[in-house]
A and B are shown apart, each in its own frame.
Chain A
Amino acid sequence: KAGVTQTPRYLIKTRGQQVTLSCSPISGHRSVSWYQQTPGQGLQFLFEYFSETQRNKGNFPGRFSGRQFSNSRSEMNVSTLELGDSALYLCASSLLGTSNEQFFGPGTRLTVL
């Protein structure tokens, strides 16, 4: 069974640009969550999607958005990039969400110059 995949693995952008990251969950998993990892703040929850609906959202500005498609694949978009958005972005999938084991992808390393 294939694991969680994320594309691209690495991205370099400049301030003000926008970026879209993609996540394909494990086959059969309907919940996809996104997390931001930085050395200073650690791992922080961005949002969770379940059956194409955003179910929960963390404490991030509106520049961070996402969506989920009917095949459970999810995308995350960051507009008007800032230097502080440089981070490892991780997505996790689970069967139903709340009480299920979370499986993480390898992450997308975003560098904003």
Chain B
Amino acid sequence: KQEVTQIPAALSVPEGENLVLNCSFTDSAIYNLQWFRQDPGKGLTSLLLIQSSQREQTSGRLNASLDKSSGRSTLYIAASQPGDSATYLCAVRKTDKLIFGTGTRLQVFP
């Protein structure tokens, strides 16, 4: 059974810091991995999608890497801003559905 874990569960950093969010999964047979952000009470916003054959994806200040063999993905956020405050979720796609991690709640203070 696929399990997805995110560490840390919560993170509070000052504005401007570079930070790394971690996602671990137990079954390496995945189609892809997707990172989302969720603002309180809102839906999910897709940030990055990494196919199983890829090693990383970049979008603006965000960079996500994927190491299938070790069952890990990291989301790197450069020069964090207060607007980055949200819950970040990773999800792995195995066959028919997305399996989500429990999320990392990020707070960036001015």
Binding site for B on A (CB under 8 A): 4, 6, 33, 35, 42-43, 45, 48, 55-56, 58, 88, 90, 92, 98-99, 101-107, 109
Contacts and interface: CB of A to CB of B under 8 A. Distances in A.
Top 3 nearest A-B pairs by Cβ distance?
Answer: A56-B96, A45-B97, A104-B44
A107 B42 contact: yes
26 contacts: A6-B43, A33-B98, A35-B98, A42-B102, A42-B103, A43-B89, A43-B98, A45-B96, A45-B98, A45-B99, A48-B96, A48-B97, A55-B96, A56-B95, A56-B96, A88-B41, A92-B44, A92-B98, A98-B93, A101-B34, A101-B49, A102-B46, A104-B36, A104-B44, A107-B43, A109-B41
Given A42-B102, A99-B31, A105 B96 contact: no
A54 to B, nearest CB: 11
- The A contact surface, by secondary structure, is strand
A98 B96 contact: yes
Interface of B: 31-32, 34, 36, 41-46, 49, 51, 89, 91, 93, 95-103
Contacts of B98: 33, 35, 43, 45, 92, 102
B44 A90 contact: yes
Contacts of B45: 104
Contacts of A43: 89, 91, 98, 100
A87 to B, nearest CB: 12
A7 to B, nearest CB: 13
Residue among B42, B46, B97 having the largest count of chain A Cβ atoms under 10 Å: B97
Contact of A99 (B36, B51, B89, B91): B51
Contacts of B93: 98-99
A48 B103 CA distance: 23
